[in-house]
Amino acid sequence: MGGTEEKHATGSGRPTSRDVARLAGVSHTAVSFVFNGRAEGNLSPATQERIRRAAAELGYRPDPVARGLRRRRTAVIGLVTDEIASSPFAGRLLRGAMETAWDSEHLVLTIDSGGDPAKEDAAVAELLDRRVDGIIYAAMSLRRVRVPEGLHRTHSVLANCLPDDGSLPAVIPAERAGGRTAARLLLDEGHRRMAVVGGQDDIASADRLRGFRDALRAEGITVPKEWVVRSGGEITGGYQGALSVLDGVPADQRPTGVFCYNDRVAAGVLHAATRLGVAVPGELSVVGYDDQEHMAEFLTPPLTTVALPHRAMGDAAARLLLDAIDTGRTPPATVRRLACPVISRASVGPAPSR
């Protein structure tokens, strides 16, 4: 009898598949079939259930290292990202990827590169040395990225970013559709005079504004040039941008709705409205973007916003990667866009009648 089984027989050590076989009254091969996914067609459902009950009673878990060696896999995927420590959205993306990987009996080994290309290359090389089954490369703000060296040597998927050479599959938010959604929130409440505040020289800003204008154009509405204020992505930018379209403007000539680049900008807009004595949502409706955790729901009033699907992106990227690992086929270098859902709160109301 092997040493491991002897240890278990005396009440110590880890239970083995042979212990399970003895308790269930089946062959060791039958136990292997159950835990290697080959039971269907080889064992009756009753026998499979008896083996699983015996395993549960003994607290038996298959050895992941041994199983990985048989399959030539490690049951670990890597995740390299640029700013886990500083991004408020990193936790959501990570949770989505980790939970999906866990459901498929994979662990996620995560490395934060701090956005340093040399560290990204080193991180990918380290993961490859550890024989991970595949790698997710994630950015915390939507942008085109240089594909780190080595990423093409294994199954790889991008999350919340696009490869600058178009060589890998990517999962990103449907930003243009999100801009259309924001517009519909205001249009459906009767708003016709609308401003856009905030934004940067990035993909998200351009796509959100394009989608917003798409929806307004379909209703025969245009946004005056002076009501599109590119004031960055911070609270101060939202505050200054709101003042530029509201301060000193008669109520019947100012916008009744504002679409903000993100929730931080929206916080600045709400602050400016309070200073100017403009009631939200009675006189001005405000739509944010991102659904920033610990912020959007605590503003006054709580912010209606279009959420970025970070958790869904982590889940979708992990599923795409795990499918590639299971099939051994590299997925096509296509872009999958995920819907940005509405989070309705209290900052949007009917357009004032005047």
| Average pLDDT of span 308-327 | 95
Supply the pLDDT for residue 261: 97
Task: Answer whether 71-173+310-338 and 175-308 agree in fold.
Answer: yes
Complete DSSP assignment for 71-137: HT--SEEEEEES-TTT-TTHHHHHHHHHHHHHHTT-EEEEEE-TT-HHHHHHHHHHHHHTT-SEEEE
Complete DSSP assignment for 234-301: SHHHHHHHHHHHHTT--TTTS-SEEEESSHHHHHHHHHHHHHHT--TTTT-EEEEEE--TTTGGGSSS
Residues with Cβ within 8 Å of residue 127, at least 6 apart in sequence = 78, 80, 109, 111, 135
**Domain 71-173+310-338's class?**
alpha beta
- Whole-prediction pTM value? 0.80
The phi-psi region of residue 295 (left if phi > 0; otherwise alpha if psi is between -120 and 50; otherwise beta) is: alpha
Do residues 75 and 106 lie in contact, with contact meaning Cβ atoms separated by under 8 Å? yes
pLDDT greater than 70 at residue 272: yes
Supply the pLDDT for residue 59: 87
Supply the pLDDT for residue 16: 86
Which architecture, in CATH terms, is 175-308? Answer: 3-Layer(aba) Sandwich (3.40)
Taking alpha carbons only, the member of 50, 68, 55 closest to residue 325 is 68
For residue 279, what pLDDT band results from cuts at 50, 70 and 90?
very high
pLDDT greater than 90 at residue 173: yes
| Average pLDDT of span 130-158 | 93
pLDDT in tens, 76-122: 999 999 876 557 778 899 999 999 999 888 999 999 998 899 999 99
Supply the pLDDT for residue 69: 44
| Average pLDDT of span 148-155 | 93
Q: How many CB atoms are closer than 10 A to CB 14?
A: 13
| Average pLDDT of span 165-175 | 96
What is the number of residues in the chain?
A: 354
**How many percent of the chain have pLDDT more than 90?**
75
pLDDT in tens, 178-217: 999 999 999 999 999 999 999 999 999 999 999 999 999 9
Amino acid at 90: A
Supply the pLDDT for residue 6: 38
C-alpha–C-alpha distance, residues 241 and 238, integer Å: 5
| Average pLDDT of span 239-256 | 97
DSSP state, 62? -
Q: Hey, where are the domains in the chain?
A: 71-173+310-338, 175-308
For residue 11, what pLDDT band results from cuts at 50, 70 and 90?
very low
Average pLDDT, the chain: 90
Supply the pLDDT for residue 138: 94
